[in-house]
Amino acid sequence: MKRWLPFPLLSAVLAAGWLALVGEASIAHLLLGGLLALAIPLVAAPFLDHLQHVVAPGAAVRLLFLLIRDIVLANIAVARLVLGPEARLRPAFVSVPLALSHPQSIALLASIITMTPGTVSADLAPDRRTLLVHALDCADPARLVADIKRRYEQPLLEIFGC
Amino acid sequence: MLASATNIALGAIGLAFVLCLLRLARGPSAADRILALDTLYINAVALLIVLGIRMASTFYFEAALLIALMGFVATVALARYLAHGNVMD
Amino acid sequence: MIIEIAVSALLMVGSFFMLVGAIGLARLPDFFMRLHAPTKATTLGVGSMLLASMLYSLQDGPSLHELLIVLFLFLTAPVSAHLLAQAALKLKLRSRAPMPGDFPRLPD
């Protein structure tokens, strides 16, 4: 079991993805999807060795809903900023000190920051302890950092139990 | 109603294409041009989806998916080339 | 009928955000500010258009095709934005926002 199906969740996602792609659930495509779901994780195993595991699925679902809400609200906010007078924008670079240490959760946090309220993650310090974030309109950098840490980093710490 | 909605959507996407092309022509840096290209790819995906609704056809979907894939790979390769001077180590 | 109204409304929302992304790309003054508009607005724009397409094709059987594109775009948009930001930092592009003094960067 462990040897032939090292990442059951990934295999399930791959099979479901294949069926969604071809758009039919015939025997032939079920077999082909199953074959891909078996083969791809085996081939990709060396890259997947150091994955973190979700220990708090409830927190992950909560974060997902928070994200959907934030992405929609953020887009409306950014639309107003973009269409409003440009001289009023106060762009800023801020450094966010990280409590997360695992590359996987740092990558997730950086992606979340890029997808949400007027912020883009621009760079990671070589020691992986600080994230450089650019904000489109930021009046109070200290508050922005506190918001990012409270809203997104805290749930990630909880989800991966570190 | 759906016909006029798709017409408006096609008009908006067309305008978005023109704005992206302006940025592509003006630059000023290579990074700006890559960003403009990336936005053009996403606009093309949107254009195909709206056409799919308008023509009530699912054939556009495959093209949209391919353009999304190609756009991502192209942007990553170009951005990496700018930042590191090579595409793969 | 209700589906038609919902599809039309989603298409309008989608085209609005696509347009906002392109306007931001065209008019904002420096690269880092320009990076914001397309990465977010266009993703939500395409997202709502795909939702419209899904709703529309619901009439003749559910379709998961569109969901794949949405998923793919939401996974890749932050990656390309991050790589472009790194390229811009490397090129030392002019930006209206000053670099923070406390961020350690490798000397190059």
Structure token digits, residue B79: 């951005």
- Let me know whether A23 and A77 are in one domain: no
Range of the domain at A39: 8-47
User: Nearest Cα to A104, choosing from A160, A65, A25?
Assistant: A160
Q: Which has the higher per-residue pLDDT, C16 or B83? A: C16
Give the number of domains in chain A: 2
Q: Report if residue A96 sits inside a domain.
A: yes
How many Å apart are CA B16 and CA A133, to the nearest integer? 27
CB proximity C34 to B under 8 Å: yes
pLDDT of residue A40: 83
Contacting residues for A161 by C-beta, under 8 A, at least 6 apart: A55, A56
How many Å apart are CA B2 and CA B10, to the nearest integer? 12
pLDDT of residue B18: 94
How many Å apart are CA A54 and CA A150, to the nearest integer? 19
| A54 — pLDDT class (breaks 50, 70, 90) | confident
How high does pLDDT run on average in chain A? 82
Q: What is the CATH number of the domain that holds A136?
A: 3.30.70
Q: For the whole model, what pTM was predicted?
A: 0.86
pLDDT of residue B74: 92
User: Nearest Cα to C93, choosing from B80, A80, B30?
Assistant: B30
ipTM rounded to 2 decimals: 0.84
| A46 — pLDDT class (breaks 50, 70, 90) | confident
Q: Is the pLDDT of residue A63 over 80?
A: yes
Contact C100 A17 (CB under 8 A): no
Burial class (CB in 10 A: 0-12, 13-18, 19+), A158: middle
pLDDT of residue C106: 54
Contact A118 C35 (CB under 8 A): no
Does residue C82 contact residue A110 with C-beta atoms inside 8 Å?
A: yes
- H-helix or E-strand containing A133? strand A130-135
- Let me know whether A65 and A30 are in one domain: no
- Let me know whether A64 and A125 are in one domain: yes
pLDDT of residue A80: 85
pLDDT of residue A162: 67
Domains and CATH numbers, chain B: 2-84 (1.10.287)
How many Å apart are CA B27 and CA C25, to the nearest integer? 11
How many Å apart are CA B6 and CA B10, to the nearest integer? 6
pLDDT of residue A117: 66
- Let me know whether A17 and A67 are in one domain: no
Contact C4 B1 (CB under 8 A): yes
pLDDT of residue B58: 75
Q: Is the pLDDT of residue A47 over 90?
A: no
Interface chains of chain A (3 or more CB pairs under 8 Å)? C
| A44 — pLDDT class (breaks 50, 70, 90) | confident
pLDDT of residue A87: 78
- Let me know whether A36 and A99 are in one domain: no
Domain ranges of chain C: 2-91
Phi, psi of A3, rounded to the nearest 5 degrees: -75, -40
Q: Report if residue A36 sits inside a domain.
A: yes
**Chain B contact set for C57 (CB, 8 A):** 58
Amino acid at C18: M
- Let me know whether A43 and A62 are in one domain: no
Looking at chain C from residue 39 to 78, which residues have their Cβ under 8 Å from any Cβ of chain B? Answer: 42-43, 45-46, 49-50, 52-53, 56-57, 63, 65-66, 68-69, 72-73, 76
pLDDT of residue B14: 93
Q: What is the DSSP annotation of chain B? A: -HHHHHHHHHHHHHHHHHHHHHHHHH-SSHHHHHHHHHHHHHHHHHHHHHHHHHTT-SHHHHHHHHHHHHHHHHHHHHHHHHHHSSS--
- Let me know whether A140 and A95 are in one domain: yes
Residue in the structure block whose two tokens are 């791959």? A14
Give the tens place of pLDDT for each residue, B37-78. 999 999 999 999 889 888 877 788 888 888 989 999 999 998
- Let me know whether A35 and A84 are in one domain: no
Q: Is the pLDDT of residue B15 over 90?
A: yes
| C6 — pLDDT class (breaks 50, 70, 90) | confident
Contacting residues for C8 by C-beta, under 8 A, at least 6 apart: B1, B2, B5, C52
How many Å apart are CA B28 and CA C70, to the nearest integer? 31
Lowest mean pLDDT among A39-48, A70-79, C5-14: A39-48
CA of B66 to nearest chain C CA: how many angstroms apart?
Answer: 10
CA of A70 to nearest chain C CA: how many angstroms apart?
Answer: 12
Q: Report if residue A155 sits inside a domain.
A: yes
Give the tens place of pLDDT for each residue, A7-36. 777 888 888 888 877 777 778 888 888 888
Contact A111 C79 (CB under 8 A): yes
The size of the B-C interface in CB pairs under 8 A is 152
- Let me know whether A75 and A150 are in one domain: yes
CB proximity B9 to C under 8 Å: yes
How many Å apart are CA A16 and CA A11, to the nearest integer? 9
How high does pLDDT run on average in chain C? 82
Contact C84 B34 (CB under 8 A): yes
